Amino acid sequence: MFNDRLAAANRLSKVAHQFYFFQSFLGIHNTCAQQPHYYFHHHAHTKHLDPSITKLVKDFILDKNDFLQKHIQTHGSLQHMPLLFQSDKKMVLEAVKKNGCALEFASEELRNDLQVVLTAIRQNGMSIQYASKSLRLDKDLVIEALKTAPQVITILIPELVQFYSNHTSKESLSSILELFIVHEPKVFKFLPSHLHDLIEPSRVLVRNGMLLKYFPRHVKKNYAHVMEAVSNHGLALKFASQKLRNTENVILAAIVNHDAALQYASDKFKSNEEFILYTMGFTRGRTFIHASEDLKKNISVINQALSYDGMLLQYVPDKSDLSIRDREIISAAIQACDSFETLQEIISLVTVKNPSLIWNDQDLQMDILMKAVEHISSSNIDLFNELSKNEAFLQKAIEKDSKWLAWYDMNSMSREQLKEMISKYGLKEFSEKYINYTSDYDLVMHAITTNGGHNLQYASESLRSNLEIVNAAIENDASTIRFCGKTILGNNEIMKRVIEKEPQYFIYGDATQLLSNKEMVLFILQEFKAKKYHPTMDSVLIKLLEGLSEELRNDEDVATLCADIRSGLSLHYFSPHIRSNLHVMSHAIANDPFSVQFIPENSELRNNFEFMMRVVSLSGQLLCYASKELQDHAELVFQACKSCSNALEFASLRLRNDFNLVLKVVQLECNTFNSVLAFASKELQNNKEIVLNAIQRNPRAYLEASEKLQADEQVAMETVSQNGIFLYFMPESIRNNLEVVLRAVENDPWSYAFVTSDSIRNHEQVIKIVGLELIEKIDRYDQDEVFRMRYLALYD
């Protein structure tokens, strides 16, 4: 079908003298694009093509559009397409999806089409150069292009400079360039050098320190800018001034970011042993690579480096007294190996430099063998059996890991020798191979008293229920209760001894018996209290609370003790009756006022004036848990607001509209993120006396005032006197009021950014207060940026 005809046409193209006409028949040349059939007949007769060829090509022309569409989808090429295709949005979109630079051959209309241009840019940022001029100057499109092709700025910069020079100030050109750099720091290196002075170095260097290379000398000498650069990319130290490459703080900041930065530090630091040893601590020894040659021959420096990474052995000089041949160095490298593969690399490295060294040193061979065994699976029994035949190896292996005792013949030992081994290594390694030892009272008791109570777990079932054995184990380590027999776990006296040592170990006892026994539960809780309960014990105490019997969940003594230990949070596990108990809840709020949240909603305790007065005195916000009646009690509400002025939020509507109460509350307020005025009634938010009093304590109250008062000059004046940045929130009429503006810039000169009237911005008094230098800096930012910097910084 179509593909068959395409293959045939490709074969035809090999006929050299007909190739040009074949291309013409396909309509690829624009000159014949609109009338391909006429062009075909004309050349077919004049050049006398073979009839079979002409028929095939004529049939092919019928599928010309399909062929071209397929060509565009496959190659994204528009260069030799008919004008009809270069003006077809669907075809052009297909092309630029495959090849963004195909935009060059799209029609003028489509090169001004946002969708087409954006699609092209996302495929290849360089394609923005082919967009219409208006779109080439669109900052959002430029930013999108810079993401994939920062170098395109070199093509766009002449137009950008001309545009911003003609339409805006020099500062606007600076801000637009900084905007591009924020999104793609590499843009900076493609800017002409005469534009570098427009850019604040910090904006660039904190994003790409390596761009320090392109800054003038005075920036490379600036401590702050160089610190920003090396903190972002340590290797930027290469471009710092000689003086700063000899400054310890700068070098350390660079090395923290990239250990190879040491190579650009001055020789003074490369040869400073104390400095190199210190930096190796946080670079895993990597600064050894760039240390001076003398330090690389220093045995203490070498050993310290190899303790971090054995592969650093390759950087030890070959020809020195402390060279690669030094056994101590090689041994340190072997000990630092963290995998079998690294060990193999170390052995290869040593063997290449001195082939006979390893094979002539039995101690070194043993080091290698021991390190190799660490990384060999213990399931390889045959290998371990073979290794255990070597007495010297076995002795050394046991010293490193007691698991090798399993390959040691204990039957050949005397009783005293056996006890000595058990004292040193415990029962663990004997418990399977020499099971009779685990039933030997004398050996088990000896293991527990000399090697630790944990050996109880390797004793036989009968000995784990033996009172003398268990008492000895618990005396040594209370946690060994978890290895005891079931009969022991139900013994209250044994459990009390354990709980006295570590109350959390009650979990290993018989839970059903323990947690239904009031005496034992109170004993456990008293021990928790005596041991000064810490939140890390939460999970254990929760298990106790979850396991309590129904009877104890309704017990006042248990609940009171829980409230004393874990605050009111523990009351969640008790009955509503207990959570309404005045005595219990008084203990709870003394420990944690927020325990009041666990009082049932219908409980009379929420309507108890004296109790709730104690609660809100501790935390005013807890007024929300008081009854509706108490939320309408002026004395209680004011007491809550004295603790936290925002408690007014939970007062009744009547009290939120009470002039005297609200006035007293706003006078209590401190400068916080929220203003209590937000919780006053709409009527009082429109009361000038209330609003002015609120603003004097917290300028944010301005935001809660009615629109009428926000446009009031006296209210505005009071607000900017407190914080000039609030000019940002004020209506146009206020921002164009000279007196208000003067008061605002006196409080904070940055509020100049929010002045919209040119006459006020250029007013002599305003300029005098703010200063031309700061005005120039402020104008680099838009109003929202200034607001975020100055206002949010105060409240974050």
Per-residue pLDDT tens digits for 182-206: 666 666 666 666 666 666 787 778 8
Q: So what's the pLDDT on residue 205?
A: 82
Residue 15 confidence class, pLDDT cut points 50, 70, 90: very low
Alpha-carbon torsion, ordered 103, 109, 112, 114, to 10 deg: -80
Q: So what's the pLDDT on residue 12?
A: 41
Q: So what's the pLDDT on residue 66?
A: 59
Q: What is the mean pLDDT of residues 692-701?
A: 92
- Nearest CA to 127 out of 162, 158, 95, 159 is that of 95
- What's the DSSP call for residue 569? G
End-to-end CA distance of the chain: 70
Residue 127 confidence class, pLDDT cut points 50, 70, 90: confident
CA distances from 92 to 27, 32, 76, 131, 796 (A): 18, 20, 9, 13, 49
Question: What distance in Å separates the CA atoms of residue 543 and residue 378, rounded to the nearest whole number?
Answer: 38
Q: What is the mean pLDDT of residues 382-393?
A: 54
Q: What is the mean pLDDT of residues 615-637?
A: 94
Q: What is the mean pLDDT of residues 552-577?
A: 86
Question: What distance in Å separates the CA atoms of residue 254 and residue 750, rounded to the nearest whole number?
Answer: 34
Q: So what's the pLDDT on residue 580?
A: 92
Say if residues 528 and 564 touch (Cβ distance below 8 Å).
no
| Alpha helices (H) in 455-515, listed in sequence order | 467-476, 486-489, 492-501, 511-514
Residue 331 has pLDDT above 80, yes or no: no
746 CB contacts (<8 Å, ≥6 apart)? 724, 769
- Residues 267-287: pLDDT tens digits? 999 989 889 889 988 888 888
Query: Half-sphere exposure of residue 519, counting CA atoms within 13 Å on the CB side?
Result: 5
Q: So what's the pLDDT on residue 141?
A: 84
Residue 754 confidence class, pLDDT cut points 50, 70, 90: very high
Q: So what's the pLDDT on residue 43?
A: 42
Mean pLDDT of the chain: 78
H or E stretch including 92? helix 89-98
Segment among 99-103, 130-134, 432-436, 627-631 with least mean pLDDT:
432-436
- Residues 727-753: pLDDT tens digits? 999 999 999 899 999 999 999 999 999
621 CB contacts (<8 Å, ≥6 apart)? 640, 644, 646, 647, 650
- Residues 154-184: pLDDT tens digits? 777 677 766 666 544 444 666 667 666 666 6
366 vs 532: which has the higher pLDDT: 532
Q: So what's the pLDDT on residue 405?
A: 61
Q: What is the mean pLDDT of residues 137-154?
A: 78
Segment among 26-35, 46-55, 306-315 with least mean pLDDT:
26-35
Q: Which of 173-177, 351-355, 514-518 has the largest mean confidence? A: 514-518
Buried b (16+ CB within 10 A) or exposed e, 27-50: bbeeebbeebeebbeebbeeeebe
Q: What is the mean pLDDT of residues 295-304?
A: 82
Say if residues 25 and 61 touch (Cβ distance below 8 Å).
yes
654 vs 419: which has the higher pLDDT: 654
Say if residues 737 and 716 touch (Cβ distance below 8 Å).
yes
137 vs 45: which has the higher pLDDT: 137
Q: So what's the pLDDT on residue 337?
A: 67
- What's the DSSP call for residue 763? -
Residue 537 has pLDDT above 60, yes or no: yes
Q: So what's the pLDDT on residue 18?
A: 39
Q: So what's the pLDDT on residue 162?
A: 66
Q: So what's the pLDDT on residue 104?
A: 85
